[in-house]
């Protein structure tokens, strides 16, 4: 099994990484230094939804699976890339935007929503992203797709007026991934997506290092 291309889909975690309003601010500080201690160790303080991350069902449902309980298969699979880069600030992504790729969807695929919004990382516009209309989620769930990744801060409206998308996905033990990037570099068919969470026991989400792989034929 040979890998032809690997695309990094994760944003960097720094103290300037954008966070959802109210989430813990990231802090990365030296705890030991080579000059003082003979080795380097860092103290990391980050939220469970810092940077490129996945939401466990427990994020929105107390009886939902916690991040260490979700089968690892849900974080890996063939990606279906929906190009919705024509959307404006705060505009909904609708079923009409997805009709070209919908017939290719299969159970177990990972839906990738390419808004292009990662180009605004570090700018105020990053918080004015497009979002998924509930009809989109309902259609994909009906086709057996339970993992949804977006290259924006949130799958739901940026004004915080609704979390219906989160609710629809997590109530069926589906997975949400946010703050992805580089979807434009997936220029090959049938990318294999991997976005594994840390094995954090009993909590609601985890940062990930996400990649898209093009395999040799």
What's the CATH code of the domain at 99? Answer: 3.50.30.50
Cβ distance 108 to 77 under 8 Å? yes
Structural domain includes residue 24: no
Residue 2 has a pLDDT of 87
Residue 217 has a pLDDT of 76
- What is the SS3 assignment for 5? strand
Structural domain includes residue 175: yes
Residue 146 has a pLDDT of 98
Which residue range is the domain that position 107 belongs to?
3-16+48-215
> In this structure, what DSSP letter does residue 65 have?
P
Nearest to 80 by CA among 52, 114, 51: 114
Residue with tokens 């769930």: 141
Nearest to 148 by CA among 125, 128, 172, 124: 172
- Which uninterrupted H or E stretch holds 207? strand 205-215
Phi, psi of 134 (to 5 degrees): -55, -30
- Cα-Cα end-to-end distance for the chain: 9
Paired with 192 in beta bridges are 78, 213
- The token pair at 4 is 């032809």
- The token pair at 157 is 């409206």
Structural domain includes residue 26: no
Residue ranges of the chain whose pLDDT lies below 50: none
Q: Is the dihedral of CA 66, 67, 68, 71 positive or negative?
A: positive
**Distance from C-alpha of 155 to C-alpha of 129, rounded to nearest angstrom:** 9
Structural domain includes residue 122: yes
The reported pTM is: 0.97
Structural domain includes residue 197: yes
Q: Is the dihedral of CA 43, 47, 52, 54 positive or negative?
A: positive
Q: In terms of C-beta density within 10 A (0-12 exposed, 13-18 middle, 19 or more buried), how is residue 140 classed? A: buried
Using DSSP bridges, classify how beta strands 41-45 and 147-150 pair: parallel, antiparallel or unpaired: unpaired
Structural domain includes residue 37: no
Structural domain includes residue 23: no
Based on the structure, what is the number of domains in the chain?
A: 1
- Which uninterrupted H or E stretch holds 167? helix 164-170
Structural domain includes residue 205: yes
Q: Is the dihedral of CA 79, 184, 116, 198 positive or negative?
A: positive
CB neighbourhood size of 163 (10 A): 15
């Amino acid at each position: 099994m040979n890998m032809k291309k690997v695309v990094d889909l994760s944003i960097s975690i720094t103290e300037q990484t954008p966070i959802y309003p109210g989430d813990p601010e990231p802090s990365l500080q030296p705890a030991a230094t080579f000059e003082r201690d003979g080795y380097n160790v860092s103290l990391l303080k980050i939220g469970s939804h810092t940077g490129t991350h996945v939401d466990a069902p427990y994020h929105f449902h107390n009886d939902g699976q916690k991040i260490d309980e979700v089968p690892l298969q849900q974080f890996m699979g063939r990606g279906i890339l929906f190009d919705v880069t024509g959307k404006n600030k705060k505009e909904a992504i609708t079923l009409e935007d997805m009709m070209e790729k919908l017939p290719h969807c299969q159970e177990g695929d990972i839906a990738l929503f390419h808004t292009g919004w990662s180009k605004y990382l570090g700018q105020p516009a990053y918080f004015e992203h497009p979002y998924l209309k509930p009809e989109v989620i309902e259609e994909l769930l009906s086709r057996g797709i339970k993992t949804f990744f977006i290259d924006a801060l949130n799958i739901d409206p940026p004004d915080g007026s609704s979390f219906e998308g989160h609710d629809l996905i997590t109530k069926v033990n589906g997975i949400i991934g946010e703050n992805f990037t580089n979807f434009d570099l997936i220029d090959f068919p049938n990318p294999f997506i991997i976005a594994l969470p840390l094995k954090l026991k009993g909590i609601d989400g985890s940062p990930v290092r996400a990649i898209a792989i093009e395999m040799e034929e």
